[in-house]
A and B are shown apart, each in its own frame.
Chain A
């Protein structure tokens, strides 16, 4: 990947293996732009944390190059990379007070006590913890500890901040609150953030762009909306939000629309990537894009479906139907007047437009 004028971090053919056999990260290319909030999203063991640790300098890549602002950081120790890191479980030093923790990076840089105190005060102001300098980390709540950890990472004003599942230990409400907090701080300082999480909702809320990791590789890097609306791989389609995946075979392709045979039915789908008749494809249809009793002029895909069961979820209903060879096909319908005519066991008409049905190259087998 060529460097562009605003590339902050570049991974070039980076691979990592701890034991020489299992590749934790495989031939990875990635660019993080200046001032961007990029999230590495993936299940545990997908290589995202290893990428972060290589970037921070705690691990060395087995092969490939990592550049920060165009300079290879191969021989740069962590302390010279100018990166702030927020660790999982915070890694606050329990033997120091909050003030001591925040002053630590300033102290080791030889900043004089007067200035140190002032900067600690400002850092606490930034994370809204004024007046807690003299507390011990163990005397703070989880959310407060998290704020201290962030303030500490930002203490020496790095241009790049790495966060490794920083909110993993918090309960849901606090997590949501902190998400906005992190976003606010990032925007106000304009720093580049590389953020690791396994929570796709968190990724959606926080990120400018999201890189979806799977088995040491990046499946797709895109804006959150793009990932949702235009997934390029079945894994991404099902990892981000809910999706119905149907397995079929291409019959013919015309422009962007292909005709696909799935479960004995012919489905018209939007073709992603090149393919030819006979190729296997995976069709991805979002549950909320499926229509009950579709009008023929709007929906070219219309099928008979048997309702397996119905779940009432307040703002919407969730139907599980059998269609196109799947018995696990989910349909979400908004809870509005006039929907209630269906019952489990009914046979109904369902339909979707070809644009809402993406034909993707199937994932390689696990």
Chain B
């Protein structure tokens, strides 16, 4: 007459399965190795370069063990560690906007600029670092760039050369890869729409400017394949999934020299950004962490990384020392985002604008995507 037994049966099955799921979802936290220093970076070929160029030599010189972990950016994990008082990440390679924000929130240790090693020619660190590279809580390491690249084997006829070409479906039909984020894409759109480099952020600061950027993106919206991880664009280009894609220049470079992919980078309209190395506030290994920070920001260290993957050192003294690729002997200069021939139209990412408007832009971008 009632269906009680059946309903309670459903509940039983649901509950039993839920418990199994709960158990399988149990998290694991990396053990806080008391003796070794944990350095957190971006993974992939970049992390490999850091390991070879910095971590291994550091251990050899100081005897301090290091451990490289990867993450996908953001402050969430650092904040959780600092707030619970269990800090097991010692140093983190951060995006500039996160470094500034982490500093304001007290998540990062202030940098003692005087501790940083001088350039090989003896000039002090404060002079050797490029402008804005020394900040309150972090030291700029390397410039990387978001560019677009194409695969000539899947793109017959004339080849694209400018950022306008990326948005030109008539001359270059086919699908494009873009990062699923408003970051950089809005800048690309405005530059392609004819906004001069120096006015991009001023234009974005007006509501009309943002609308203009989205309208430009609208013109290719149906032809965009969105990517999420840095490893995706080279793969999509190789597979012919897209005819061209925005990408981090180092990833394309690695595909070119290590996998012999015929990809071509279009440097026009590239958006430069730089990574920052910071010490997490409250680390129990502050002394060792400071040693590591000093070691990692030596000119030699930065140059070594730059000779594994095409990212430019943040020190003046480093630029000239980037010669050939350490694994293949390829000449590095043409591949560096800061080389003069690549910076004819290059935009520096304005992290302050993005930390003010990032959330808003992301919501608007999501709304735009969903439409």
Contact = CB atoms under 8 A, between A and B. Distances in A.
Contact of A135 (B1, B5, B6): B1
A97 B3 CA distance: 11
A95 interface: yes
6 contacts: A95-B6, A97-B1, A134-B1, A135-B1, A136-B5, A138-B5
Interface in B24-45: none
B6 A136 contact: no
B6 to A, nearest CB: 7
A138 B9 CA distance: 15
Interface string B1-26: 10001100000000000000000000
Contacts of A95: 6
Contacts of A97: 1
Nearest to A138: B5
Nearest to A95: B6
Interface in A109-164: 134-136, 138
Contacts of B6: 95
Nearest to A139: B1
Contacts of A136: 1, 5
Contacts of B1: 97, 134-136
Nearest to B1: A134
A136 B6 CA distance: 12
A307 to B, nearest CB: 60
Contacts of B5: 136, 138
Nearest to B5: A138
Interface string A91-112: 0000101000000000000000
Nearest to B6: A95
B79 to A, nearest CB: 53
Interface string A36-79: 00000000000000000000000000000000000000000000
A190 to B, nearest CB: 36
Nearest to A136: B1
A138 B1 CA distance: 11
A136 B2 CA distance: 9
In order of increasing CB-CB distance, the 3 nearest A-B pairs are A134-B1, A97-B1, A136-B1
A138 B6 CA distance: 12
A71 to B, nearest CB: 42
A285 to B, nearest CB: 57
B1 to A, nearest CB: 5
Contacts of A138: 5
B10 to A, nearest CB: 13
Contacts of A134: 1
B7 to A, nearest CB: 12
A136 B5 CA distance: 11
Nearest to A97: B1
A279 B5 CA distance: 66
A75 to B, nearest CB: 39
A95 B5 CA distance: 10
A98 to B, nearest CB: 11
Nearest to B3: A95
A83 B139 CA distance: 89
A204 to B, nearest CB: 40
A97 B5 CA distance: 13
